[in-house]
Structure 1
């Protein structure tokens, strides 16, 4: 059989596009599916210099087989024999994908239902129609409720996965205990609704004065990263106490109590105060929240103490002819009391 006859037999839908028969365009068929393909042959018809142009679907099926296809292209004696090799590779690739995407055996579903019964149907929040994605409610040893979303496979054990998840939750218990105590016993200004993965808290210390802490989840009782927000005449003494009393920090003791000891303060109690007492609106835009920021720049005059958003105060001072700037520090007058005010443009004020 001639090469043309072999090509017609192997790939009747792949036809030459010019009289020199150096360009073929059409489809290759495997396991009842057609895939678009173009073949560009050099003028000497040497296959090692040939080029294939595959459709997106064909590329996806042959993903991981590119090196094999290249080898077959270099070692085939003619285009007809190469197309036979390509069909064999394509059929193998399709069979492998079918096996990977094959539905689980019937016993998988019976075991899964039994696992859910053992855990309790009340713990089931969501399950898709294929029983491959499941969302469960899980409680840790402290009674905190968590949601876990599982993408199950044929060999998955719901009970074992839950045990692994509970072990991971237990490793975070100390961190969550520390954060829960802070949330329960202090006025947390930021974030308003902390999630379990939030490591920072901005805690009210007094009117327009707060401390922002960033707790290390791996070592939650160690001294956290701290920076203060508020008027300098209040912040400077607090910063000084933190530096001078660092030796009082006891790594195995309660974090909140350590903060009280080191700073020599009592945080305002939730029972005797309101959150609004510590979250005054910006004196320029008259809003508390501006995008994701809150008023964290405060007039240093004790008789004023008006807070401002950093960006609001920056725009105000920049518009005053009497203001001056040195690098990222602007010197001007408070919009409320006209006393000297300094603004340092930075992400954090320590």
Structure 2
């Protein structure tokens, strides 16, 4: 929190008992934890680190009759804790209740972190710690929505499949057939791949894929899942045009097929030489076995 905010709060504290109470209680919590402070001191938010170093924010709305009227609280968690409040309660006690609440959710958030690190999340920037579900790419323009049990996050999650009817029906049957294979002590991604009997797409490196990740030839992010593609089954785009003004992404498999259909393409050993389908700049693609 900037020094001028603390100075402004201190000035307001001289005006009334309400401002004075809020100012003194923020000092008890620590100014380093204050993230935001409303102009009239009725709204403020604190940032707290849990034991794993994750940052969490609690927003607090104060009534002018505070502390006789309990504060309204919202947190970035799947559910709010039961607020214990009395006339003698202070903001420091409220932060302590928040910290206790965070401790109860460590297992749940560890499971979410494991999913986010190891699997390709749909709209990953929108996924938050307040959500108890994740939508995961499973290839072939299909995804699965997993609802994680907050109190037992390692247990088999409820699921819903999204995508093509034929493919989804097949995945549902595979899931039901293998449901007994879920082992709570195994990593989440391994359990999913065991039940679905397929390798799932891994997270895309945002720094290396800051352009469109859809293939410029097949217009899909992932290759279809099937034996005909062998180890490339379900892969994300893995080739990007080196022309900075283009930087179009492709599946190298799709690009090889496209180049082979062009009569001007040259081949030297296992490398095809041709031109980008979008900007016509020279490209070279290695043919994978």
What TM-score results when the alignment is normalised by the length of structure 2? 0.52
Q: How does 1:91-240 map to 2 (within 5 A)?
A: 104=17, 108=21, 111-116=24-29, 119=30, 121-152=31-62, 153-154=66-67, 155-190=88-123, 192-240=125-173
1:264 aligns with 2:197: yes
Q: Secondary structure at the match of 2:161?
A: strand
Deviation at 1:198, TM superposition (A): 1.9
Aligned equivalent of 2:177: 244
CA contact (8 A) 2:46 2:57 kept: yes
Partners of 1:222 and 1:235 lie apart in 2 by 23
Tell me, which stretches of 5 or more residues in structure 1 are unaligned? 1-102, 283-287, 289-297, 303-350
Q: 1:131 to 1:233 in 2, by over 3 A?
A: closer
Q: 1:163 to 1:253 in 2, by over 3 A?
A: farther
Tell me, which stretches of 5 or more residues in structure 2 are unaligned? 1-15, 68-87, 229-289
CA contact (8 A) 1:190 1:203 kept: no
Q: How many residues align?
A: 182
Relative contact order, CA 8 A, sep 6+: which one is greater? 2
Q: Secondary structure at the match of 2:56?
A: strand
Partners of 1:106 and 1:277 lie apart in 2 by 54
CA contact (8 A) 1:215 1:224 kept: yes
Q: Secondary structure at the match of 2:122?
A: strand
Deviation at 1:104, TM superposition (A): 3.7
CA contact (8 A) 1:134 1:151 kept: yes
Q: Secondary structure at the match of 2:99?
A: helix
Deviation at 1:191, TM superposition (A): 5.9
1:276 to 213, 223, 227: 213
Q: 1:108 to 1:191 in 2, by over 3 A?
A: same
Partners of 2:122 and 2:18 lie apart in 1 by 53
CA contact (8 A) 2:120 2:204 kept: no
Q: 1:197 to 1:109 in 2, by over 3 A?
A: closer
Q: 1:159 to 1:269 in 2, by over 3 A?
A: same
